[in-house]
Amino acid sequence: MAVETKWTFDSETVKQWAEKQEEPSWLVNKRLDALAQAEHLPLPDPDKTSLKRWKFTSFEKIDAEEPATQSFSDLPQEVSRLAGEESEVQNLIVQRDGKIAYHKVEQELEDNGVIFTDIATAVREHSDLVEKYFMSDAVRTNEHQLTALHTALMNGGVFIYVPKNVELQTPIQTIFWQDDVKTGLFNHVLMVTEANSRLTYLENYVSFTEEEANVNVVTEVYGGQGSEVKYGAIDNLESGVTSYVVRRASLAKDARIEWALGQLNEGHTISENTTYLMGDGSYGDTKTVHVGRGKQTQNFTSDVVAYGKRTEGYILTHGVMKDNATSIFNGINKIEKGGTNSHSEQTGRVLMLSSRARGDANPILLIDEDDVTAGHAASVGKIDPIQMFYMKSRGLSQTEAERLIIHGFLEPVVGALPIEAVKTRLAEVIERKVY
Amino acid sequence: MAGSTLKIQDLHVEIEGNEIIKGLDLQISGGEIHAIMGPNGTGKSTLASAIMGHPSFEITQGSVELDGEDVLEMEVDERARAGMFLAMQYPSEVTGVTTSDFLRTSINANREEGDQIPLMKFIKKMDKQMATLDMDESFSTRYLNEGFSGGEKKRNEILQLLMLEPKIAILDEVDSGLDIDALKVVSNGVNSMRSDDFGCLIITHYQRLLNYIEPDYVHVIMQGRIVKSGDAALAQRLENEGYDWIKEELGIEDERVGQSQEA
Ligand SMILES: Nc1ncnc2c1ncn2[C@@H]1O[C@H](COP(=O)(O)OP(=O)(O)O)[C@@H](O)[C@H]1O
Ligand SMILES: [Mg+2]
């Protein structure tokens, strides 16, 4: 597969950069090894989308400037508003191009030994913990060129560690903001929840310029026995950004995760979300919404893979397609041999607002075990003209009626977001994307 | 005279090339309650839907005017904003949109840009009208018509009528599937609208509803035309004697549309 760039990131550059950041040697070595692999690994091969013309590596540097201050009031308003009023901010990290622009944690975190820090600090201060999990299991360096590049060039993100039995009351929030289009963002969210802990987490990816840029995102969640994670995300990168996003969780016995993902990037996007139900009785629920518009091409994959017995896996995907946008939705429920008495369900719905848009929903069930229950439903449709007639007959204009229909259509995911303010924020982003 | 006037002249309506309404004349003014009665399949819903601008029906001849304005030139939403309302026989479900959000958006669509209904005022009005219709509070937060029983859908249509306060309303079989208590409640709702500013066309194939909402005029529709008109006594006679005497009088064998033999 062709790598379209003159390769500016040789091992010497990466080594110096990593050492300048005082990274532990395991990470420096892991990066160099990954960089070598990236040169010959192919790009990922998502179903029904050709990546030949996609520019994943058009950035020029990986080390952005440090923000001048870390005060909330110095954040641009378009960023700070994502967090709400400063007085209401609880646990928040804002990063600009991977560098900390704001950081606040509640006493509750410190009292309970919870770690919530930027990934650069984490690799220095919690080296053993990070080494144990980083790009080792849920997502691996050698999957393809973009995972290898991720390990080699990772330059932003956070580490969240919740100790055993800690049930966090305050949510943890992050805002990952790409400002400098010349800097590629390789953002890593590493989340470890120990046995019987609880965490609510919400993240925003944003940018505000339409210039060409690259974002490469990996999330790894390791859910310990009986732990519960609510994971909300709003991806809202601008139209020039080509992004690769993978969020995966690996769950131990009786662990649970609920994903609510607002996939609202404006540019070309490959986004995968996978839950591995490793332990018996584990539970994964994925809800995603998506709006495609303009000329963007996107490919979404939602997987739930069951290894444990008595697991439950749910996928709900709602997508709205406008203009000339193309989106492929692949949903895969897999039950491996041994996953007895497991249950899986998947629903994919796509609402087409334009005859020039393309939206494909491909639900797949892969079942290697007899003693399971599974179901799936998929539909691609237009707004029902009779429904439109009904709504207009009350005085709503075509636009207002469409707006309500779309909000209603996306409500199952918007409503699942764990924080009220974030629901409002997602509704706003949808509003802007739809009109 | 106060109120508005809806004037239908020589209306012809087709669906998929079949003529269903075949030259119908009717005039409804503020202060008047008209009832259209007729057996199933005689074109009642077609008439109601076509007047409101249903996309499946084509008007091939005739005119509909509201206070002299050409209704047939208007978009569906313009008709509504001009003061027309249709309570539908089979209202659509709108998932993810609460009844309350839908109603508030609708009310605001009928008002000027800078004159949106204050939230508290809306809530008060909604509470009051839901009480009139003996509707449970939970209705307002349920998704519009989704999972509603037949009777709940009818009440919800009348709730919309009471909230939107149109000048001319067409109620298509709001009585079907209602038990006697529900029928009374719905009738109360409609009667509460009665005024010189409100004209109403009630479509039904039972006389029952007209015991509670007394009509000023009763029309019988057969084969896509109004074949007989009278006052409330006509409805009473139809209740007692059925439709056969009219068919006999007019030499109609099959009252449904599509089987026409000219009388
Ligand atoms: N959507 C439709 N497609 C085809 N035929 C229709 C449709 N709606 C109504 N019709 C036909 O029009 C005639 C009148 O129907 P309708 O207006 O619903 O009658 P009513 O309301 O009096 O029972 C019937 O013969 C019916 O089959
Ligand atoms: Mg009917």
Q: What ipTM score was computed for the predicted complex, to two decimals?
A: 0.96
Whole-angstrom Cα distance, residue A97 to residue A156? 7
Determine, for residues A391 and B164 on separate chains, whether the beta-carbon distance falls below 8 Å.
no
- Is A256 a domain residue? yes
Q: pLDDT band at A22, cuts 50/70/90?
A: very high
User: Which among B50, B57, B117 has a CA at the least distance from the CA of B79?
Assistant: B50
Q: For chain A, what is the domain count?
A: 2
Whole-angstrom Cα distance, residue A362 to residue A353? 19
What percentage of chain A reaches a pLDDT higher than 70? 98
Q: pLDDT band at A352, cuts 50/70/90?
A: very high
Does any ligand 1 atom lie closer than 6 A to the CB of residue B56?
yes
**For A136-152, how does the pLDDT look when each residue is reduced to its tens digit (9 = 90+)?**
999 999 999 999 999 99
**For B146-205, how does the pLDDT look when each residue is reduced to its tens digit (9 = 90+)?**
999 999 999 999 999 999 999 999 999 999 889 999 999 999 999 999 999 999 999 998
Whole-angstrom Cα distance, residue B203 to residue B209? 10
pLDDT of A422 higher than 90 = no
- In this predicted model, which residue has the larger pLDDT, A248 or A47? A248
Nearest-neighbour CA in chain B from A262: distance (Å): 16
pLDDT of A6 higher than 60 = no
Q: Say what angle helices A11-20 and A25-40 make with each other, to 10 degrees.
A: 150
Position B89 scores a pLDDT of 94
For residues A181-207, average pLDDT? 97
Whole-angstrom Cα distance, residue B77 to residue B55? 13
pLDDT of A432 higher than 90 = no
Whole-angstrom Cα distance, residue A227 to residue A402? 40
For residues A93-113, average pLDDT? 97
Position A2 scores a pLDDT of 39
Domain C-terminal end among A247, A279, A311: A279
**How big is chain B by its Cα radius of gyration, in Å?**
18
Task: Assign 3-class secondary structure to A185-246.
Answer: EEEEEEEEECCCCEEEEEEEEEECCCCCEEEEEEEEEEECCCCEEEEEEEEECCCCEEEEEE
- Identify from B99, B106, B110, B115 which residue to disrupt to test chain A contact, counting A C-beta atoms within 10 A and taking the largest count: B106
**Chain A residues within an 8 Å CB radius of B89:** none
**For A44-88, how does the pLDDT look when each residue is reduced to its tens digit (9 = 90+)?**
999 889 998 899 988 999 999 999 999 999 999 999 999 988 999
Does any ligand 1 atom lie closer than 6 A to the CB of residue B257?
yes
Tracing tokens 């990934």 back to the chain, one arrives at: A119
- Is A297 a domain residue? no
Domain C-terminal end among A227, A253, A279: A279
The total of other beta-carbon atoms located within 10 Å of residue A325's CB is 24
Position B35 scores a pLDDT of 97
Position A428 scores a pLDDT of 87
**3-state class of B67 per DSSP?**
coil
**For A314-333, how does the pLDDT look when each residue is reduced to its tens digit (9 = 90+)?**
999 999 999 999 999 999 99
Position A9 scores a pLDDT of 80
Q: How many CB pairs under 8 A join A and B?
A: 84
Give me B60's structure tokens: 């091939």
Task: Compute the distance from residue B41 Cα to the ligand 1 centre, in Å.
Answer: 6
Does any ligand 1 atom lie closer than 6 A to the CB of residue B189?
no
Residues A391, A375 contacting (CB under 8 angstroms):
no
Nearest-neighbour CA in chain B from A397: distance (Å): 6
Task: Compute the distance from residue A236 Cα to the ligand 2 centre, in Å.
Answer: 48
Q: How far is CA B101 from CA B41, B94, B113, B163, in A?
A: 35, 11, 17, 13
- Identify from B15, B89, B92 which residue to disrupt to test chain A contact, counting A C-beta atoms within 10 A and taking the largest count: B92
- Is A3 a domain residue? no
- Is A353 a domain residue? no
Task: Assign 3-class secondary structure to chain A.
Answer: CCCCCCCCCCHHHHHHHHHHCCCCHHHHHHHHHHHHHHHHCCCCCCCCCCCCCCCCCCCCECCCCCCCCCCHHHCCHHHHCCCCCHHHCCEEEEEECCEEEEEECCHHHHHCCCEEEEHHHHHHHCHHHHHHHCCCCCCCHHHCHHHHHHHHHCCEEEEEEECCCCECCCCEEEEEEECCCCECEEEEEEEEECCCCEEEEEEEEEECCCCCEEEEEEEEEEECCCCEEEEEEEEECCCCEEEEEEEEEEECCCCEEEEEEEECCCCCEEEEEEEEECCCCCEEEEEEEEEECCCCEEEEEEEEEECCCCCEEEEEEEEEECCCCEEEEEEEEEECCCCCCCEEEEEEEEEECCCCCEEEEEEEEEECCCCCEEEEEEEEEECCHHHHHHHHCCCCCHHHHHHHHHHHHHHHHHCCCCCHHHHHHHHHHHHHHHC
Position B260 scores a pLDDT of 47
Determine, for residues A411 and B101 on separate chains, whether the beta-carbon distance falls below 8 Å.
no
Give me B106's structure tokens: 């609708």
**For A368-410, how does the pLDDT look when each residue is reduced to its tens digit (9 = 90+)?**
998 999 998 899 999 999 999 999 999 999 999 999 999 999 9
Q: Which ligand is nearest to the CA of B36?
A: 1
Tracing tokens 């220095």 back to the chain, one arrives at: A124
- Is A376 a domain residue? no
- A271 and A388 in one domain? no
Alpha helices in chain B, H assignment, sequence order: 44-52, 76-81, 99-109, 119-132, 150-164, 180-193, 232-241, 244-250
A291, HSE (Cβ side, Cα atoms, 13 Å): 31
**Chain B residues within an 8 Å CB radius of A408:** 94-97, 143
pLDDT of A355 higher than 70 = yes
Q: Say what angle helices B150-164 and B180-193 make with each other, to 10 degrees.
A: 10
**Chain A residues within an 8 Å CB radius of B76:** 389, 392-393
Q: Output the CA torsion B11→B15→B18→B23 (10° steps).
A: -10
Name the residue of B40, B44, B45, B57 to mutate for ligand 1: max ligand atoms within 8 A of Cβ.
Answer: B45
pLDDT of A4 higher than 80 = no
For residues A191-213, average pLDDT? 96
CATH number for the segment(s) B5-91+167-250: 3.40.50.300
Global pTM?
0.87
Whole-angstrom Cα distance, residue A279 to residue A28? 32
- Is A118 a domain residue? yes
pLDDT of A219 higher than 90 = yes
Position A3 scores a pLDDT of 44
Determine, for residues B86 and A411 on separate chains, whether the beta-carbon distance falls below 8 Å.
no
- A71 and A217 in one domain? yes
**Rounded mean pLDDT of chain A?**
94
pLDDT under 70 in chain B at which residues?
A: 1, 258-263
Expressed as residue numbers, the domain containing A420 is 384-435
Task: Name the amino acid, one letter, at B237.
Answer: R
Q: CA B48, B50, B56, B62 torsion: positive or negative?
A: positive
**First CA to last CA distance, chain A:** 38
Name residues whose C-beta falls within 8 Å of residue B13's C-beta, 6 or more positions apart in sequence: B19, B20, B21, B43, B46, B47, B50, B57, B58, B59, B60, B224
Q: pLDDT band at A412, cuts 50/70/90?
A: confident
Give me the residue spans of the domains in chain B. 5-91+167-250
